[in-house]
Every structure is written in C-alpha cells, then in structure tokens.
Chains A and B, each alone.
Chain A
C-alpha cells in the first residue's frame, strides 16, 4: 500500500515534550492499518519515567489500536517503538515484562470467586502472595464480595477487579484503555491514587480516556490530526 506523505509533522514535534525526566519509551513515525483501512499515520511521542500520556480523540481515531500496537498484539505497518533507545523487537520478552495492559474486556471468569480470579492473574505474573491479593481487593472496595462468584458482579465491580491487577503489578508502564468506564467516583479516586503512587515510584502510563483525569505530570496526545479521515491539514 502506498501511504500519503505525513502532512502534520508539527503535531509530532509538540507531542515530544518530556517534562524534564529521562525518556524511556519512544514511538517513531507510527502507521497503523486495521482491516485494510489506514487508522493513523506519522504518529510519534515519548513517555518519560513517572509521567502519564493521555490519549485523546473522537471514537474510532485509533486510541485502542495504538495501545494494542504498544502491547504487541499487532505490529505497526510502519514505524517503531524504542525502550531506552533499543527497539522493542529486539527483546519482546523484556517488553512484555515491562507492561501491564487493561483493555475493554475485563478478563473475569464467572465460575471463579473474586479472590480466585485475582489470585490467578497474580500467580501467573509470578507473585501469588495471598495477603497482597486481599489488600488489593480491599483497596478496590471488593473486600465484602471477595468470596462471591464473579458472575454476580456488576459492570463496575468487574472493572474494579480488572484494575485491581494494577495494584499487584510491578510493570514499569501501564496501558489503560478507558479505565474509568462504568466506575463510580470512589473507584475513579482509587484509580488516581494508584496511578499517582505508580508515578511516584518512577512508573509511567499511557491512558486512553474521554474524561478528565486528576493526575500530575501528564502529557496529552490528541490522535485526531494523525488520522486518515481528517480533512483540515494545518499549514506548515
């Protein structure tokens, strides 16, 4: 496929602010094609340790696709990702160990109790400390339903159960796809606290969202100018 020349380099440059902290994740000239359709092109950004990159843009502009590219579910049609100046393709296992992904699907097994569900993900990630799991459930307000089969959870509670994995994660970079959907104010507050602590420990996050997040050290990246269907090309 012949791709048109990127007409919006200027947005790429403004997105490359890094808040004075060492940059450890870089994306260069990304192009994403899904189902034969060009989603976005010429997209570049950097994520510094301890910072959060908020992805914005209308539905269908490729926020989820970008997160899936970073998670490695799909390879970009063009461009590359660097971690500390090394391409992630050189060390896919290392890249997987550095990221935690929470997508639209909550990965909740209805036949398992709430504790069993979280315990499995903790164990397969290599840390099955029952006390830490119980603490994470309490933190996310799931303590009272810890022994209930997950089939009886509400949508918000399922989301909490999925996000509770973050409290057990040692990954450096979190990829969150609309994490606030169906959460109540209390749970959003918990999420902000957990992300804040993650940042304080030098961790970073890339979050696709439509709501305003009360976070420090955030960069915002609007994907709309990079999409294929935008018509208003700014003059350079």
Chain B
C-alpha cells in the first residue's frame, strides 16, 4: 500500500512539474468543445441536443492525448525495470500509474464538464448527472487506456496505434455515459445506466491492471 501511494504521489508531482499532462489536456478539452458551435452553428436547440455527446467525445479524446506517455517515459529512462523489481506487484504499479493519470486528467475533465455543458446550452438538470457519470467513466478510460499504453510502450510515436487500439474499447463507456444524462434529463431515471457504469469501473479495476502488467512484462523482455 505504501508503494502504491508513493508511486501515485510521484506521478502526480511529475505531471504538475512538467505541466504538460494536466493543463494541456484541459485546454484541449475546452478548445475541442469550442469548435462545435463554430462548426454546427449557433442554433441553441441543436447545441443543447448534442451537448452531452460532444462533451463526452471531447473527454474521450482528451484522455487519450496523454495516454501514450503513461508508461513510455518510465520505460525509456529505465525506471520501469526498477519498478518491476521493487517489492510491489506489477499490477499494483499499473493501478497506481492509472490512478495518477486519472487524477491529473480525468478528474479535471469531470469538474470542467458542466461548465462546457453550460457553454453548449445543455439542460441544467443534467449537470449533476454529467459530472457523476464522468467521475465514474473517466477512471475506466485511464484503466482501459493503460492496456493500450502498455502494449505500445516500445513503439516510437505509438500515439496513433494506441488510439486505434483503445477507442473501440471506449464505446460502451461513451454509450452509457451519454444515455444516463439524456434519460436523467427526460425524467426516465439515470440510475440503471449509472449502475452499469459503476459495474464497468469495478470490472476495469479488477481486470485491466492484469492485462497491462502482462503487456509491460512482455515489452521488457
């Protein structure tokens, strides 16, 4: 457990110092969403209708952006080998790195999401559900993305390959995240979709670190 906390703290500190992770992801999120009213036109009804989907898709892409460095920086400077020999199981190391990735990217996105919704004339009744589903959904993105990042750790400029691997796996999270908000706004109840998202998150916590750890071990040979 101390190893887990130590690694989370280190990765958050590195992300803060290098700046890149946290602020660029958030700026990318903001800019992508700003493009939609410019492209679709200022029609308020249309923007309000697509707001949830736009915010979610922008969040998927923003979370992707920083994934390729999740393990690569440690792989390239030799830290990953030393971490593999540390008295902490590889699965816990992966979980710690995904947790730090979520805190520096997913969490700011979830907090910023209702403001983006506001900008797109989203129904205010959906703000709370949007933040809630984002809080449940963005850790899934970090965990599943971790598998892709682990598989492409040895590939130089593996960013595009990583997107191809990971984006299809993000589809269920996107679907249930968007439906939860829509049904909540329409008064049909967001609860079943939120429960499904929670189940997916728990499943990802339980399974994704094993897949990522196996991929990392393979890449270290």
Contact = CB atoms under 8 A, between A and B. Distances in A.
Interface of A: 71-74, 93, 96-97, 99-101, 103-109, 111-112, 120-121, 123-126
Contact of A109 (B2, B6, B77, B84): B77
B84 A73 contact: yes
A126 B2 contact: yes
Contacts of A71: 81, 85
Interface string B62-97: 000000000000001111011111111000000000
A107 B79 CA distance: 5
A107 B78 contact: yes
A163 to B, nearest CB: 13
Interface of B: 2-3, 6-7, 10, 13-14, 17-18, 76-79, 81-88, 220-221
8 contacts: A71-B81, A103-B78, A105-B76, A109-B79, A111-B14, A124-B7, A124-B87, A126-B3
Contacts of B6: 120, 123-124
A66 to B, nearest CB: 14
Contacts of B2: 123, 126
A97 B14 CA distance: 27
Nearest to B79: A107
A173 to B, nearest CB: 12
Q: Which 9 interchain pairs have the tightest Cβ spacing?
A: A105-B78, A111-B17, A107-B78, A107-B79, A74-B221, A124-B86, A123-B6, A73-B220, A107-B82
A96 B85 contact: yes
A107 B14 contact: no
B10 A111 contact: no
B86 A111 contact: no
Contacts of B81: 71, 73, 101, 103, 105, 107
Contact of A112 (B7, B14, B220): B14
A227 to B, nearest CB: 20
Contacts of A93: 87
Contact of B87 (A104, A105, A126): A126
Contacts of B79: 107, 109
Contacts of B88: 124
B77 A125 contact: no
B201 to A, nearest CB: 27
A108 B85 contact: no
A125 B14 contact: no
Nearest to B74: A107
A86 to B, nearest CB: 19
B77 A107 contact: yes
Nearest to B14: A111
Contacts of A108: 77
A99 B85 contact: yes
A111 to B, nearest CB: 4
A120 B84 CA distance: 14
A124 B78 contact: no
A101 B86 CA distance: 10
Contacts of B10: 120
Contact of A104 (B7, B78, B220): B78
Contacts of A121: 82
A105 B10 CA distance: 19
Nearest to A105: B78
A99 B82 CA distance: 11
Contacts of B220: 73-74
Given A93-B87, A111-B14, 18 more contacts: A73-B81, A74-B220, A96-B86, A99-B85, A100-B85, A105-B77, A105-B78, A106-B77, A107-B78, A109-B77, A109-B79, A111-B17, A112-B13, A120-B6, A124-B86, A124-B87, A125-B87, A126-B2
